[in-house]
Amino acid sequence: MEHLRQDDPARIGPYVPLAALDARDSGRPVPDRRYLARAADGDRTVLVCVPRPDADPARWAEEARQALRLSVPRFLPVAEAAYDPAGLPWYAAPYTPVLPLPAALAAHGGPLPERFVRALGAALADALAVAHAQGVTHAGVSPSAVLLTADGPWLAGFGAVRAAGPDGTARVGPAASEPGGLAPEQLTGGRPRPLGDVYGLGAVLSYASTGHVVPESAELPAALRPLITACLARDPAARPDAARLAAGLGAGAAGFPGPGTGAGTGPGPGAPEATVLDAAFPVPLPARVVAELVRQSAAALAAGLPLSTTVPTARG
């Protein structure tokens, strides 16, 4: 969490920002400007997002409306979206303690454990496979679009690439995705397609396991190197689809359920019924990441609304 600055909005729809979710001075692009915010009556805390300055507000607002209608496991559950042309478009999701992937690496002190990276990739690939089967392309998979919670990852920043520029326009200036993390066909203005999401997920796995979106091949863990390298193929036809990638990642993770049994898609045939004692994500978060989530939760609970936005107590 980052303290608010003078250029941050004082109000976003019915919500009052309490803190910025992303580090401001890291130089790392983010898909949206993201805030922990609270309803003016103090009853609800949410994660609320507004477009980056270089995004087209109308296109961004349309992507937010599309996200409202999505039902994809591990996509950020957008609950509200609105756009007053006189102000900022915004969307909001229920708040749970959450860290962008770059913040998780910073908390951990470097690249994440290989077993966790494999489970993370399998869960996200499984989610993308569901989305692609529904005819939905995320079009913004990048390290900053991955949010870690105690129950595993979410994908946020839906449609960030589409909001940053229309199809056919080269995306060589400020972009919503990491440099080197956007599929080559999308850099030149190609329409986002499912195999572009796979390229983005390859960049996420590279970053999670090395700290670099485009590392040297030797930096990658040997067991993950073939899969990540295939994801980052310049030719989309040489990349695995999301379902194949989920299968490849899940098969190599001890104790990790295969596609269709993880990432919120339900148990496989013959599997025992889940109970509240079962972990929602099969590999524990690294301890320092958990500690950072706990700190954020405590800070969010302790944060008060600015005096100018608090609701006065009724007097009898």
pLDDT tens-digit profile of 127-147? 999 999 999 999 999 999 999
For residues 207 and 213, the answer to whether their CB atoms sit within 8 Å is yes
**What is the distance between the alpha carbons of residues 177 and 160, in angstroms, rounded to a whole number?**
8
Residue type, 119: A
Q: Which three-class secondary structure state does DSSP give residue 133?
A: helix
For residues 297 and 97, the answer to whether their CB atoms sit within 8 Å is yes
Q: Which helix (H) or strand (E) holds 35?
A: strand 33-39
Q: How far is CA 157 from CA 95, 195, 295, 309, in A?
A: 16, 17, 24, 28
State pTM to two decimals. 0.86
**What is the distance between the alpha carbons of residues 307 and 288, in angstroms, rounded to a whole number?**
34
For residues 213 and 206, the answer to whether their CB atoms sit within 8 Å is yes
Per-residue pLDDT, 173 = 55
Q: Which segments of the chain have a pLDDT < 70?
A: 26, 172-177, 179, 252-280, 306-316
> Which domains, from first to last, does the chain contain?
15-97+290-302 (3.30.200.20), 99-286 (1.10.510.10)
Per-residue pLDDT, 309 = 52
Residue type, 232: L
Per-residue pLDDT, 121 = 97
Length of the chain in terms of residues written: 316
Dihedral sign computed on CA atoms, order 117, 119, 121, 123: negative
Dihedral sign computed on CA atoms, order 138, 141, 146, 152: positive
Q: Which helix (H) or strand (E) holds 178?
A: none
